[in-house]
Structures are given as structure tokens and as C-alpha cells.
Amino acid sequence: MVEIQRLAVEIVGQVLAGRSLDMELRAPRVRDAGLSPQDRGALQDVAYGTLRFLGEIDAVVEKLLDRPLKEASLRQLLRVALYQLAHTRAAPHAIVDHAVRTSVAIGQPAAKGLVNAVLRNFLRKSEQLLREARETERGRYSHPQWWIDKLREQYPDHFERVLDSANGHPPLTLRVNTRRTSVEAYLAQLEAAGIPARALGGAAVLVDRALPVERLPGFAEGEVSVQDAAAQFAAIALDVQGGSRVLDACAAPGGKTAHILETAEVELLALDLDPARLARIGSNLTRLGLAAELKAGDAANPEAWWNGVPYARILADVPCSASGVVRRHPDIKWLRRPSDIAAFAQRQRDILDALWRLLETDGKFLYVTCSVFQEENQAQIEDFLERHGDAQHLSLPEPRTGARTLAGQILPDDNHDGFFYALLQKI
């Protein structure tokens, strides 16, 4: 546990300094640490959990200390240990003992007594401290105050559910490749493998407990992919027709690309700015037995890659704040700043205007974000319609997975991440 705590201290510190959590968990110092698969899972849980409940943890730390700690690594150690004490089943005495030893491992041997005293004080008064921490909104919701305020303003009837959902564990949802098998047949495979699961509707299957993809029957053979249920709405809403020219802009990591190809025989171009992420799309398509043209390019600058032939369908899953997928990426809520939302909105506007010229008359354009902020969603589409008199806003079909939508906004719940959809037609 000492090594897990030490690495978690480094990871949390790097994330709060501006690094991506996923990148830190894949960093050489983690890869070369010699951790067993079980220990790697424990490290991921501690790092994710500490960031998931950081607001609550910091409120507790403030009550346990007479003055703020100057040493950042020591502050991260208390955060990590307090997460373990408050939210895991690990033996409390072992957590405290290892945290004292970890203080030496991170170069703070003089702080052993402080770490021991603070954590034992928490154990004595944990119920009271957690109750008091949750009396503040930052402690109650474990989100930055500006984020809480924005959601309250934009979703007065739903903001608490959105915030609470963001602090939960994400579901493991699969998309069955219906070119190779059926949902019913795949559920039978899961049952035979002792993996409890149920159908959500469409091609979506919800697995009761998270597990490595290597344990999923038929994964290597391309029978199934991991994709959130709300993300699976894209291929349905786009209404692709066999033989059509389709553009999937901002395509990586390729889940929607593959789903479109599983749905219909089309001529599809998958575009992404990052060549490395584009290569991952190719690998996924090969596993699934699918094919598309892959091209590196900026969706906001089609002159550099477009051949001049218009598309019947365009999917624009644009860069966004990712505020709808925070439970999968808890670092996002602490890394984002209010000014980032306006920057994302401008980038989205540029992509929308650039790609609209590539759509044929009567063609359909699906705008998608994994955000819950209205500046990136409803407001973005309203502004677009004011600028483009040849655009008509179409009604969306009902999601087959039971997601509830508010004017195209899917708010996160137990079965879905937060996504926004707007279907437009050129007239």
C-alpha cells in the first residue's frame, strides 16, 4: 500500500498542476513500478476516488489542520489517505500506518507525527467531520463552485442529480456488433461466462460489474465494443442510408465511426486532427471487420483535406468541456476554468460553419457534444440557426436505451453519460 499511496500522491499532484489523469496513470513511473494487476487497479481507484471526492476531502482537511500545509506532497498524502478512510473498505489502521510510512517515502519524514495525528483524529470524529464538510456546497457536491452555480442556473430542477451522478462510478456499457451477432445471442454468451448483464435497448448491453475487456467473450473477435449508451444514440439519430457519403469529423476514438458502419453500408471518411488517435480508429475497425477512409485533418479547415464532393450525412462530435463525462474523468472538473467554456464554444462555432458548406442539399448534419453546459449546446445551435438561413432544426428520434432528453440534452443518469444532440438539415 505504501507504493500505491506514493504513486497516488504523485499522480494527484500532477493532475492538480494541469496534467491529464489518464496520461499520468499510463506514465513510465507507473508502468515501470512493477505493480501487479490488482495493485494497478487499487492505484487507479485511489487516484480516481481522491479526485472524485476532492471537494469533500479538502473541507475535511481544513477542519483537521490549524493552518494550511505548505508542502504540496504532504497535502496530497492526506487527501489520498482520507479518501481511503472515508470511501474504501481497506482496514483503517493499515491505511494510517502506511500513510505514516509513505510520508518518509515522499521525502517528508518529519511529518510522520502530523500524518498519524491528523488521520487518527479523523477516525475518531469521521461522522461529524464528513457531516460538517457536506454543509458547504463544494464539500457536498465535490465540484468547483463556479460549476455548481452554472448547473443550478441552467438546470434548476436537475442540477443536484447531475452533480451526484458525476461523483458515481461509470457503468460498463457495451455495443453489440449486429453485423456479427445479435444482442440476444451475446447476452447468452455473457450468461455462459458468468457475467451478469442486461439489454438497454438498441445494440446496448449494460454489464453489472466493471471488468477488463479481455474477459468479455467475443471482444477480440469483434462481436462487441465498449461504448456508453448515450453515445450510441449518434448512429441512430444520424439516420444513415446505404450507399451514402458520410463524414465523421473529430472521429477519434472511433466508437461512433464503427457504429455507423455496423448500421449501414456507407462510404465513410473518419477525420481527426491527431494522427495517433486516428491509428486507434484503424485498429478498432480492423478488430470489428469494418473499413473506412481515415484522414488526419482539422475539421475547421476543410480546404486542406476535402475533395469537393458534398456529403449526405455529417457527424460532428466536436471538442467540448466534457462536462457530461466527469464520472469517467474526474480530473476534468478540477482542470477546467470558466474561461474554457467560451474557448470551446468558439472552436465549435468554427467547426460548425466550416463543415456546413460540405453538406449536400437535403443532407443531415448531427452536432454532438459530451457536455451539459448550454453555451456549448442549445445556445450554440440557436446561434448557428441565426447565421444560416438554409438550416432546419429537425426533431430527434426517441433514444432506444430509455435516456431522457431535454431539447436534445441527455443528462447523466445511472445508465447514460451526459450528451447533447442536434439534428440539422440543409434546405
| Catalytic positions | 370
Q: Which helix (H) or strand (E) holds 91?
A: none
CA atoms within 13 A on the CB side of 294: 22
Cβ-in-10-Å burial (0-12, 13-18, 19+) of 4 comes to: buried
> What does residue 111 show for φ and ψ, rounded to 5 degrees?
-95, 5
Contact 211, 388 (CB under 8 A): no
Contact 310, 269 (CB under 8 A): no
Q: Which helix (H) or strand (E) holds 251?
A: none
Residues in the chain: 427
Sign of the alpha-carbon torsion through 82, 85, 87, 88 = positive
Nearest to 238 by CA among 177, 178, 167, 316: 316
Residues 6+ apart with CB under 8 A from 422: 366, 367, 377, 381, 393, 408
